[in-house]
Amino acid sequence: MFENLKSKGFQVEFHSHASAILSVDFPEALRELESVLASVTIPIEEIIGSGGGETKGTQRLRRALAAANWTKVNFIIEKTINGVQRESKSHEVDHVRTFPSGDVIALEIEWNNKDPFFDRDLENFKRLHAEGAISVGVIVTRGASLQESLFELVRRYAEQQHLSDVADLARISLNPTPRQKKTVESRVARGVPFPEAWASAFVQDKYGAATTHWRKLEDRVRRGVGNPCPLLLIGLPASIVTFDEPAEVVEALIEEGGAEPSNQA
C-alpha cells in the first residue's frame, strides 16, 4: 500500500490492524489519499512566508481532500439514562470520509501546531472509535526527512536570495521581532555567515522541536496514546518542498491555497 508515496519519501505507518482494515474494507479511501498526497508540493517561498503557521500548500491539501469528500464533521455523542440526558460531548474532525456502508475514517493534518495537539487528536480518535463512530484515524504531519532538512532548505533559500543582513529580510516580506533580530545579529557577530545564522534562528523559532512533526507523533503512539484505535500515520517528506518555481506558478499556488475550502458536512 502507498508504494507511490513511499517512493517519494513519504513515511507511512499502520497501527492496531489499520493496514488490514484499510486494505480490505476501504481500498477506495487508500486510492483517494494516495492520489491527493502524491500531488502535494510546497514552494520554499511558502515555508518562509508562512512564518511557521499553516502554509498555503497545507491549505491546498485540505481543499483537495474536501473535493474528494473528506469533509469537516462535528461528532456529537450523547448519553441518556431513562430518557434523561446525562452527558454530551462533541469532537470536531477536519476531514472525515463517510462511506455508503456507514463506515467512517477520520483524518487530521498537523502541519505546525504545538505538539500537544497530537494528544488531542489521538484521544479524540480513541473516544470516537470506542463509541463506534470511526473505523480508523489518520494523522498527516511533517515527516522526519522534512523536519531534519528545514535548516538546509531555509539556508539554501537565503543564499539564493543573497540575504546578507537583517535589513535584507524586508525584501522577502519578513519583519522579524527585535528579539529575533538580536538573535541573528549575535550569531553573525560570532562569525556565523548571515544565511546560516538566520536560517538557524528561523527554523528554531518557527519549526522547533516542540511543534507537530513525526518524532513527536511517534513518541506518543509508542506510549499508547490513542490505543486501541487503528491508526494510519503519514509523514510529509522533504521532497515536497520545491525551489526555483516560476514566480507566476508560485503566485497561482498561493492564490489557490488562499481560497476557503468548502468542507462542511
CA–CA gap between residue 123 and residue 118 (Å, rounded): 8
Indicate the SS3 state at residue 71: strand
**Domain assignment present for 84:** yes
Three cell numbers, residue 23: 486494505
For residue 29, what is the domain's CATH number? Answer: 3.40.91.20
Within 10 angstroms of residue 228's Cβ, the number of other Cβ atoms is 12
- C-alpha dihedral, 138 to 241 to 208 to 231, nearest 10°: 10
Give the pLDDT confidence of 234-261 residue by residue, as tens digits: 999 999 999 976 666 566 655 665 555 4
71-81 and 42-43 as β-strands: parallel, antiparallel, unpaired? unpaired
* Residue pair 154/202 in contact by the 8 Å Cβ criterion: yes
The pLDDT assigned to 254 comes to: 58
Distance CA 181, CA 166 (A): 7
263 has a pLDDT exceeding 50: no
Q: What does the pLDDT look like over 21-54, one tens digit per residue?
A: 999 999 999 999 999 999 999 999 999 987 667 7
Residue 21 CA to residue 98 CA, distance in Å, equals 15
Q: What is the CA radius of gyration of the chain?
A: 20
264 domain-assigned: no
Domain presence at residue 174: yes
pLDDT digit string, tens, across residues 132-141: 999 999 999 9
SS3 string of 92-148? EEEEEEECCCCCEEEEEEECCCECHHHHHHHHHHHHHHHCCCCCEEEEEEECHHHHH
**Please, what is the Cα angle at 147 between 218 and 224, to 5 degrees?**
10
pLDDT over 70 for what percent of the chain?
91
Which amino acid, one-letter code, is at 225?
V
Specify the number of domains making up the chain: 1
pLDDT digits (tens, 9 = 90+) for 165-190: 999 999 998 999 999 999 999 999 99
Note whether residue 265 is domain-resident. no
Residue type, 122: L
pLDDT score for 249: 59
Q: Is 212 in a helix, a strand, or coil?
A: coil
Higher pLDDT pick, 56 / 207 = 207
Q: Is residue 132 part of a domain?
A: yes
How many other C-beta atoms can be found within 10 angstroms of the C-beta atom of residue 164?
13
Mean per-residue pLDDT over the chain, rounded: 91
Reading the block at residue 199, the C-alpha cell is 536560517
Q: Is 250 domain-assigned?
A: yes
Is 8 within the bounds of a domain? Answer: yes
Instruction: Tell me the pTM.
Output: 0.91
Domain-located, residue 124? yes
28: domain range? 3-258
